[in-house]
Amino acid sequence: MSIGEPFSRIDGPIKVTGTARYTADLRAANMLYGVLVTASIPAGKVTGIDKGGAMLEAGVVRVLTHEDMPRARTPIAGPPFAHSFLPLQDDQIRHEGQVVALVLAESLEAAEAGARKVQVRYAPTKATMPVALAWPEIDRAAEPPRNTGYFFLEPEFSKGDAVHNLAKAPKTVATVYSQPSRHHNPMETSAVLALWEGDALTVYDSTQHVFAVQRGLAALFGIPPASVRVISQHTGGAFGVKGLIGAHEALAAQAARIAGRPVRIALSRANMYSFLGYQPRIVQKMGLGADEKGILTGITHDVVNLATVTDDYIEAATEASKALYATPTMWLRQRAERANVAMPTAMRAPGEGPGMWALESAMDELAVDLGMDPLDLRLANYAETDPATGAPWSSKKLRDAYEEGARLFGWRDRPRFPWRDGDWIVGQGMASCLMGTFRFPSRAQVRLRRDGSAVVETGTQDIGTGVLTIFPQIAADVLGIPVSAIEFKMGDTTLPEAGPTYGSSSTMGVGAAVLAAAQDVRNRLARMANLSPAEVCMADGRIGRTGAAESFSVADILERAGESEIVGTGSFDPTKHGAGYSMRTFGAIFVEVGVDPELGLLRLRRAVGSYSVGRIVNPRTARAQLLGGIVWGWGMAAMEQSAFEPSLGRFLSKNLAGVAIPVNADIPSDITVHFVDEVDEKASPIGGKGIGELGATGVAAAVANAVFHATGKRIRDLPITPEKLIA
Amino acid sequence: MEFRQHLTVVLRINGLDRQMRVDARTTLLDLLREHLALTGTKKGCNFGECGACTVHLNGRRVNSCLVLAASADGAEVTTIEGLAAAGKLHPVQQAFIDHDAFQCGFCTPGQVMSTVALIREGHTRSEAEIREWMSGNLCRCSSYPQIVAAVEAAIRVKEG
């Protein structure tokens, strides 16, 4: 058995020696370097661009502006593009940081120097800026969302009369929770290398979805998708920001066409804060109604997020309230506040990430009001079926996750009151974790060779989640060969089409396709050996009837048939699995924090995360996913914010010096990740569900709840920075 | 002092002497990546904020994006490509694999180079000290506990 084994990462040797190649590591013969010039105003138009200074810079070959760029063959309208307009197609400025020129040069030094010398003249118009962070202002500015292709859910949902139930409930919570815009900050900035051979385009890209880039660029140039090849061997972190096609990917391909030479653009860190997505500012008005025993009678959840003027990205935070508790009534609403800002996008964890911050903070406030253990309040409102639809769960072991997590943390035996440890007041808190389940169609091919080695092929992406290890594990498990005998080809649109690497979807979709392809190989081999495919198993390069002593060598079977290899194909179609069931992943997070009340410092001391996510293919890589999620949750809770400066209409700091993200010193080693024993075969034949985002949910609420336990201060605006703790 | 657009420098990189004519603006990081095709050293921010470009300059760990190539004339530089001897992983590299101390792998060359220097510096007297002295290397995948475990294992290999 390979599935369930904690194999160390197959990509280990190439990643620790620096030989793994990321997009910016690649070069092509005769390549030009591209550096972007971005708008310094948030609204208006470009009235003139002086290229003279830049063109005098030795090595600068060309400066491209909206006056040079060919018009897109197909109007860009929503996904797979990250924004429904493409820069350099007209003179309009929609947000600060929008690309206004692209400098192409023989060297990076020349391109950067040239970009600094491009003089852009603007005619500014009055920009719409985000309103003050207060509910009445946010509520007044909010508008119903427009469907520009970037939100997938109904903006309003109700069941029963929640407003009425809250009005007559003996216990209520009515509070507003807020969080600032935050950026993904993958360590690798986005990068792209585009080259044309005649009318065929090859793009090396830092992306979460090679096939989306292929389709989008084919439409842009009006050429068949088969004429566009997209390759992505390793992407240096993504977390959502590389999910859709950014301006640089289109511009590199356009520039390479115009220049007749390959073009590589590796974004600066500032570029990442200029025209790529981020998790927008989100403000949530939360209402809970309960009886004297804490049984919920209604939930209201009113969410407003920042969006741009051209498109609405809707942060579906109400998904949390829709799915977590067995409430008889609910009223949920999503709206957008529009401003001249860059287009937001999904970020680990979208929807439930923000939603659980509000819901699980409010539940803690209710527990305090009732004098109940917060864990008991959650158990009292446990949803045995989907509270919004009444559908049964594909699988849910949240009760086990609560209990096992509580035991590992020592929750039930915890001190009732906070205690002192030197300068620190120590408090504890908990919250539930919840994430939606996204599944995408995927295909795979497996070739088993006569020598017992195999090739697994599917066009998925490596962004660090562990797919380079777990997909070979799945194939090895079926074929009864060592993982080391498998070669894995991925990250290329010439391979069978796989879904995107976002939405915690890869194991279910691509994993199931690999499983089916390996099973197809086994079935073909069984028939060649005159065995019933339903009754065979493979081990050590042999196939035999399950339980029987007699077995046949794969090499012999292939030799007799005169074949050098057996090719199996497999696919995953989400519509064929789990229809009628509601699918989510669940968990519980328990944290212990220290607060220094004199200095306002907040530290994480230890944490236990306990999760109900179905079968775990590789406990080692799975632990890294959940642990990473917890650290992301800590960042959201304690430090992360991309401060927006309204007088300039831009993010204040477009760098990693002015924006805090967790560093090693912030994270204690005492973090336990626990999985309950579970198999969910309705979600996917793999038996597992997604794990990439769940860990980041609930953490901010658990931290704020622990801060309340320690200090009696209820913080409702993230991040929990020192000034809020001293106040 | 005369300003020159180009300068000739000699650097000993991973044990090999290299004489090069460089643009005065070229950083050590860009020299390695764009001129010498040593792309194991990564550019994460280009402003000394992330540590992905960590190399050893005369034995000390530095952010190579903050070092002008011209100012490193005569220096000895070790990059991630120079760490594994004759195809055998350095104990720190092996420890990173054994303790799952990376995910996307982009910050990993910098983390490994920092760890090798950290052990040499002796900033390893406690877990807290390791965490503090490894905080110049960001890991957004957030494998920090695994990185600390790898550092501790590498120390044991060195001591054992």
Domain ranges of chain A: 23-126+184-272, 128-182+279-310+322-339, 392-439+582-727, 440-576
Cβ of A16 within 8 Å of Cβ of B97? The answer is yes
Using DSSP bridges, classify how beta strands A156-159 and A330-339 pair: parallel, antiparallel or unpaired.
Answer: antiparallel
pLDDT of residue B84: 85
Give dist(CA B79, CA B81) in Å, integer: 5
Fold entry, domain A440-576: Aldehyde Oxidoreductase; domain 4 (3.30.365)
Mark which residues 248-267 of A lie under 8 Å from B by CB: 266
Distance from CA of A434 to the nearest CA of B (A): 20
pLDDT of residue B160: 64
Taking contacts as CB-CB distances below 8 angstroms, the residues of chain B near A465 are 103
Give dist(CA A440, CA A243) in Å, integer: 14
Cβ of B100 within 8 Å of Cβ of A239? The answer is no
Cβ of A664 within 8 Å of Cβ of B144? The answer is yes
pLDDT of residue B70: 95
Which residues of A does the annotation mark as catalytic? 693
Cβ of B43 within 8 Å of Cβ of A656? The answer is no
Mark which residues 66-105 of B lie under 8 Å from A by CB: 79-81, 83-84, 89, 93-94, 96-98, 100, 102-105
Cβ of A669 within 8 Å of Cβ of B149? The answer is yes
Using DSSP bridges, classify how beta strands A486-489 and A454-457 pair: parallel, antiparallel or unpaired.
Answer: parallel
Bond prior to A80 in cis (omega within 30° of 0): yes
Taking contacts as CB-CB distances below 8 angstroms, the residues of chain A near B141 are 187, 237, 464, 624, 628
pLDDT of residue B2: 66
- Kindly state the DSSP code that residue A171 receives in the 8-state scheme: E
Mark which residues 105-124 of B lie under 8 Å from A by CB: 105-109, 112
Determine which of A608, A623, A664 to mutate to test the interface with B (most B C-beta atoms within 10 Å). Answer: A664
Cβ of A624 within 8 Å of Cβ of B141? The answer is yes
Cβ of A237 within 8 Å of Cβ of B141? The answer is yes
**In this predicted model, what pLDDT tens digit does every residue of A101-135 receive, in sequence order?**
999 999 999 999 999 999 999 999 999 999 999 99
Q: Please list the rounded mean pLDDT of every run of 10 residues in chain B (160 residues).
A: 84 97 96 97 98 98 98 97 90 98 98 98 96 98 98 86
The answer to whether A98 and A39 are in contact (CB under 8 A) is yes
User: Which string of DSSP letters, residue by residue, matches B23-82?
Assistant: ETT-BHHHIIIIIS--TTS--S-SSSSS-TTEEEETTEEEEGGGSBGGGGTT-EEE-GGG
pLDDT of residue A419: 97
For A23-126+184-272, CATH number out of 3.30.420.40, 3.40.50.2300, 3.30.365.10, 1.10.3210.10 equals 3.30.365.10
Cβ of A628 within 8 Å of Cβ of B84? The answer is no
Does the CB of B129 have a partner CB in chain A at under 8 Å?
no
Taking contacts as CB-CB distances below 8 angstroms, the residues of chain A near B33 are 24-25
The answer to whether B69 and B22 are in contact (CB under 8 A) is yes
Does the CB of B59 have a partner CB in chain A at under 8 Å?
no
Other C-beta atoms within 10 Å of A77: how many?
12
Distance from CA of B87 to the nearest CA of A (A): 10
Architecture, CATH, for domain A128-182+279-310+322-339: 2-Layer Sandwich (3.30)
Q: Which residues pair with A158 in a beta bridge?
A: A331
**CA–CA distances in Å: residue A562 to residues A226, A452, A556:** 33, 15, 10
Question: Which one, of A224, A221, A225, A229, lies nearest residue A201 by Cα?
Answer: A229
- Kindly state the DSSP code that residue A696 receives in the 8-state scheme: G
Mark which residues 623-682 of A lie under 8 Å from B by CB: 623-625, 627-628, 630-632, 655-657, 661-669, 671
Q: Measure the CA dihedral A217/A223/A225/A230, to 10°.
A: -50
Q: What φ, ψ does residue A364 adopt, rounded to 5°?
A: -65, -40
Q: What share of chain B is helix, strand, coil (3-state, %, to 5)?
A: 40, 20, 40
Using DSSP bridges, classify how beta strands A99-105 and A60-64 pair: parallel, antiparallel or unpaired.
Answer: antiparallel
Of B39, B79, B143, the CB nearest to A628: B143
Give dist(CA A361, CA A430) in Å, integer: 10
Distance from CA of B91 to the nearest CA of A (A): 11
Of A18, A108, A631, the CB nearest to B40: A18
Taking contacts as CB-CB distances below 8 angstroms, the residues of chain A near B131 are 664-665, 667
Helices (H), A189-301: 210-221, 247-259, 269-272
Distance from CA of A687 to the nearest CA of B (A): 23
Cβ of B96 within 8 Å of Cβ of A12? The answer is yes
- Kindly state the DSSP code that residue B137 receives in the 8-state scheme: S
| Positive or negative: CA dihedral A679, A468, A662, A337 | negative
Cβ of A21 within 8 Å of Cβ of B148? The answer is no
Architecture, CATH, for domain B91-159: Orthogonal Bundle (1.10)
Give dist(CA B28, CA B32) in Å, integer: 6
Cβ of B105 within 8 Å of Cβ of A268? The answer is no
- In terms of CA atoms, which chain B residue is nearest residue A672? B145
Helices (H), A480-597: 506-528, 554-561
Cβ of B146 within 8 Å of Cβ of A113? The answer is no
Fold entry, domain A392-439+582-727: Aldehyde Oxidoreductase; domain 4 (3.30.365)
Domain ranges of chain B: 6-82, 91-159
Determine which of B142, B143, B147, B152 to mutate to test the interface with A (most A C-beta atoms within 10 Å). Answer: B142
User: Does B91-159 match B6-82 at the fold level?
Assistant: no
Please tell me the CATH code under which domain B6-82 is placed: 3.10.20.30
Q: Please list the rounded mean pLDDT of every run of 10 residues in chain A (727 residues).
A: 93 97 98 98 98 96 94 80 92 97 98 98 97 96 90 88 98 98 98 98 98 96 97 98 97 97 98 98 98 98 96 95 98 97 97 98 98 98 98 98 98 96 98 97 97 97 97 97 97 98 95 98 96 94 92 94 96 97 98 97 98 98 98 98 96 97 98 98 96 97 98 98 94
Cβ of A187 within 8 Å of Cβ of B107? The answer is yes
Q: What is the side-by-side order of every strand in the sheet holding A565-572?
A: A486-489, A454-457, A442-449, A565-572
Give dist(CA A263, CA A534) in Å, integer: 52
- In terms of CA atoms, which chain A residue is nearest residue B23? A109
User: Which string of DSSP letters, residue by residue, matches A356-389?
Assistant: HHHHHHHHHHHHHHHT--HHHHHHHTB-SB-TTT
User: Does A392-439+582-727 match A128-182+279-310+322-339 at the fold level?
Assistant: yes
**In this predicted model, what pLDDT tens digit does every residue of A332-379 receive, in sequence order?**
999 999 999 999 999 999 999 999 999 999 999 999 999 999 999 999
Secondary structure E strands in A291-325: 296-308
CA angle A622, A618, A482 (to 5 degrees): 155
Mark which residues 462-491 of A lie under 8 Å from B by CB: 462-466
The answer to whether A475 and A514 are in contact (CB under 8 A) is yes
Give dist(CA A438, CA A441) in Å, integer: 10
Determine which of A11, A16, A31, A116 to mutate to test the interface with B (most B C-beta atoms within 10 Å). Answer: A16
User: Which string of DSSP letters, residue by residue, matches A642-654?
Assistant: --EETTTTEES--
Give dist(CA A178, CA A724) in Å, integer: 14
pLDDT of residue B1: 55
Mark which residues 71-100 of A lie under 8 Å from B by CB: none
